[in-house]
Amino acid sequence: MGQLRTAMAEAGLSIPELWLRYFALGGTATAAQMEAHMDGEEDRAFVVDDDLQHDTLVQALNERFMELHRDDALPYERG
């Protein structure tokens, strides 16, 4: 299982829940594209701004970890 999938499971979020958080942070991809990215299926994943969309998704997960008082944040693509 990929790192993002593992993180989503640890965060206790479903795909629709995670997508809504990603959308709230300004994410522009569909839930299906987000899921494909998490599974490393890049041909079906983000169409534009790959790194930005990835980092927006990571931010959504890290904010959930913040809520859970876990300080092991996932790394960002753009540093």
Partner 1 sequence: MSAADGSGRRRPPPAEVLGPGALDGLLHTVASLARATVDGTDGVSVSVVRGEGYATATATDDVVRELDAVQYQERSGPCVEAIDTGEQVAVALAEAEARYPRFAASAQQRFMTGVLSTPLTAGHDVLGALNCYSASTERFSAGAADVATQIAGHASVLLANATTLSAATTTNEQLQQALVSRDVIGQAKGILMERQGCSAEDAFDVLRRASQRQNRKLTAVAQDVVDGRAPGGMG
Task: Return residues touching partner 1 (CB under 8 A).
Answer: 14-17, 19-21, 23-28, 30-32, 49, 51-52, 55-56, 59, 62-63, 66, 73, 76, 78-79
Q: In angstroms, give the least distance from the CB of 29 to partner 1.
A: 9
Q: Which is nearer to partner 1, 9 or 75 (CB)?
A: 75
Q: In angstroms, give the least distance from the CB of 43 to partner 1.
A: 17
The DSSP code sequence of the chain is: --HHHHHHHHHT--HHHHHHHHHHTT--S-HHHHHHHHTT-GGGS-SS-HHHHHHHHHHHHHHHHHHTT---PPPPTT-
Q: Which is nearer to partner 1, 10 or 31 (CB)?
A: 31
**Tokens matching residue 37:** 């990215």
